[in-house]
Structure 1
Amino acid sequence: MKIPPLNPLKVFEVVARTNNLTTAANELLVSQSAVSRQIAVLEEYLGVQLFTRERVGVRLTEVGVAYAHRIRPAFEEISDATKFITQKYSDNVIRLRTYTTLTARWLIPRLPRFNMQYPGVDVMIANSSAPLDFGTEQCDLAIVFGEGTWPDAESTFLMEDVIEPVCSPAFLESAHGGVRLLEALHSKRLLVSKYRKYDWPAWLAHAGMGDVFDNAEKMIFSSSILTWQAAMDGLGIAIGQSQMLEADIKSGRLVRPFSRPLKTGKGHYLVTPSLQRYSSKIASFKDWLLHEAEQSED
């Protein structure tokens, strides 16, 4: 691939477009003599004369016209591509990638506070549980559940993953029935989220009842949100993520029958591409999210 020096090539494109050395120099923020030197470098590289110097200004030669016609679309493509990449950092939209449970149960109830603090910034949310890949996804940052390491990305810890059983107040009252509550788990339906199917075994082992899960009656749901709704409706007892159920527990829709929270060792992280142009809107959004996470843990 034979490509001439790019700086002289850019100078040629501007001179060819303006047909004036002075105008080109003003656009490029350089002197007229610097423009002339760059044109001379390009002509020497190509071995052809691109301009005819006239008493007033310059005029493209026949080969210069043909060359300008061929390279101008390339510079327009470069300009459009650069605009596409940089525009997302200069507009008023933050593109956030996260997943449905966190969006519905933790983020959305808090977003009105962000809107009040930053009324000129919009948050566009895309939900996905697929592996994170900034190379294919058009997002500025993501909230991801895991252990804090993702390829070609930088992560900031947001909040810890804490789990424990939850149920409706009516279910708790019926579960007592004269026996100890932990023992009652042997005969109660366990509500299981498909994507968090290991939470019950982990918590039961934590409670010294590792044998219960395999023999218990279970009802499996496609999401944590549906699992918790089933618990609110008295279908059984579910495993809850503490930060996601704060409002439901405070309102009394759900109760924590054992008060034995378990930290799973994982957490939710703010993840950004390793190579990302600084943006004040993204920095402000990250700071706000971190503050909200601190408040929810108090």
Structure 2
Amino acid sequence: MVRHLPPLNPLRVFEAVARHKNLTLAAKELHVTQSAVSRQIATLETYVGTPLIMRESRGVTLTRAGQRYAEEIIPAFDKLAEATGKVMEKNVQSVLRVRTYTTFTAKWLIPHLMHFRQRYPDIEVLITNAVPTVDFDRDGVDIAIQYGEGDWPGTQSDLLFRDELEPVCSPQFLAAHPESQHDPAALLKGPLLCSHYRRSDWDDWLSFADLETVAKKAERMSFSTSVLTWQAAMDGLGLAVGQIPLLKSELESGLLVRPFARPQYRDRGHYLVRPSLQRHSRKVTAFRNWILQEVRDPEENLV
């Protein structure tokens, strides 16, 4: 069966004219000129092969064919508007899809997320973890937390915190090397615990601290994630490079210590990233406002 679909832009214009019975009001609603409305109506009349409106001094009236046509299409446009509104409402109010890294999720986001749930109980947060740079068209997420310099094309980004690197270990590992109390560099004989996705951290910090030579012959043990690397450090297997903003709880509780007290601050950091052209929905705005406040003062976000 052949579907006789008219050109949709002229149809949209006719629907507005049929409701208002006035070209000027229709043009104002559609944000176009009155002459543009007239041209679109003429295009539709040519397509259907019959006049649809009659121009009068006080506005327009519909022809008999135009009246029958309007009675069919106005409810159809109402249904389209209703369906679109439902989709937009669901998108705005239901699930916030956040993409980030496993390490950030485990060490920062999950410990803080209860504050967001207390403030916005109607917003469900769905977290996915992945390492590659987010592609909002491909990945189907609303917002992302990424590590880098904040300059990803087609996005807006807010800095959460800069990268702060420093070696950490367990108190037990430190106690097993009493000579380190006078010379922390003694700990660099190893093992040095490394994360697969942060392989350069040790070399960067050693260069920063001018200790490459001391650690040149140290054994290195590699783990697939920073979470596992830091767990190995807490279990006393060796010395790891910590991302200090992600280890606040472990450092405050004494599970990890900072024997060198020589942090390295880098230009890279963790950013909240969102599409440049994204509609500013309530859920995205709420999460952005919350997390920016949370990195400054978590206590202010408590209900």
Shared fold per TM-score greater than 0.5: yes
For residues 176 and 246 of structure 1, the distance between their equivalents in structure 2, rounded to whole angstroms, comes to 25
For residues 207 and 121 of structure 1, the distance between their equivalents in structure 2, rounded to whole angstroms, comes to 45
1:150-169 per-position Cα deviation (integer Å, ceiling 9, x unaligned) = 01011111111101111111
CA contact (8 A) 1:188 1:237 kept: yes
Match of 1:18 in 2: none
Tell me the number of residue pairs that the alignment of Structure 1 and Structure 2 aligns.
Answer: 270
**Which TM-score applies when normalising by structure 1?**
0.77
CA contact (8 A) 1:89 1:277 kept: no
Identity %: 43
CA contact (8 A) 1:190 1:218 kept: yes
CA shift, 1:215, in A, is 2.0
For residues 133 and 225 of structure 1, the distance between their equivalents in structure 2, rounded to whole angstroms, comes to 25
1:200-242 per-position Cα deviation (integer Å, ceiling 9, x unaligned) = 1111112211224442101100000000000011111111111
CA contact (8 A) 2:190 2:218 kept: yes
CA 1:46–1:110 in structure 2 vs 1: closer, same or farther (change >3 Å)? same
1:97-127 per-position Cα deviation (integer Å, ceiling 9, x unaligned) = 1111111100111111111111211211111
1:45 equivalent to 2:35? Answer no
SS of alignment partner, residue 248 of structure 1: helix
CA 1:57–1:220 in structure 2 vs 1: closer, same or farther (change >3 Å)? closer
For residues 291 and 115 of structure 2, the distance between their equivalents in structure 1, rounded to whole angstroms, comes to 11
SS of alignment partner, residue 136 of structure 1: helix
CA shift, 1:50, in A, is 7.8
Q: Structure 2: any 5+ residue segments left out of the alignment?
A: 27-36, 53-61, 299-303
Match of 1:126 in 2: 128
* Letter matched to residue 190 of structure 1: L
CA 1:135–1:83 in structure 2 vs 1: closer, same or farther (change >3 Å)? farther
Equivalent of residue 99 in structure 2, options 97, 101, 121? 97
SS of alignment partner, residue 201 of structure 1: helix
Equivalent of residue 175 in structure 1, options 174, 177, 189? 177
**Which TM-score applies when normalising by structure 2?**
0.76
SS of alignment partner, residue 205 of structure 1: helix
For residues 85 and 273 of structure 1, the distance between their equivalents in structure 2, rounded to whole angstroms, comes to 19
CA shift, 1:6, in A, is 3.7
CA contact (8 A) 1:4 1:45 kept: no
For residues 154 and 163 of structure 1, the distance between their equivalents in structure 2, rounded to whole angstroms, comes to 26
For residues 151 and 90 of structure 2, the distance between their equivalents in structure 1, rounded to whole angstroms, comes to 25
For residues 97 and 154 of structure 1, the distance between their equivalents in structure 2, rounded to whole angstroms, comes to 15
1:233 equivalent to 2:223? Answer no
Match of 1:192 in 2: 194
Match of 2:119 in 1: 117
Equivalent of residue 286 in structure 1, options 285, 288, 301? 288
CA shift, 1:259, in A, is 1.1
208-217 vs 253-262, greater mean Cα deviation:
208-217
For residues 47 and 162 of structure 2, the distance between their equivalents in structure 1, rounded to whole angstroms, comes to 62
For residues 183 and 39 of structure 1, the distance between their equivalents in structure 2, rounded to whole angstroms, comes to 79
Equivalent of residue 277 in structure 1, options 276, 279, 286? 279
CA contact (8 A) 2:167 2:239 kept: yes
* Letter matched to residue 221 of structure 2: M
105-114 vs 177-186, greater mean Cα deviation:
177-186
Following TM superposition, the consecutive aligned residue runs of length 4 or more in structure 1 with deviations greater than 6 angstroms are 32-39, 78-81
Superposed, 1:200-219 pairs within 5 Å as 200-219=202-221
1:173-220 per-position Cα deviation (integer Å, ceiling 9, x unaligned) = 112247744331342200000111111111111221122444210110
CA contact (8 A) 2:171 2:257 kept: yes
CA 1:243–1:39 in structure 2 vs 1: closer, same or farther (change >3 Å)? closer
Match of 2:155 in 1: 153
For residues 4 and 40 of structure 1, the distance between their equivalents in structure 2, rounded to whole angstroms, comes to 12
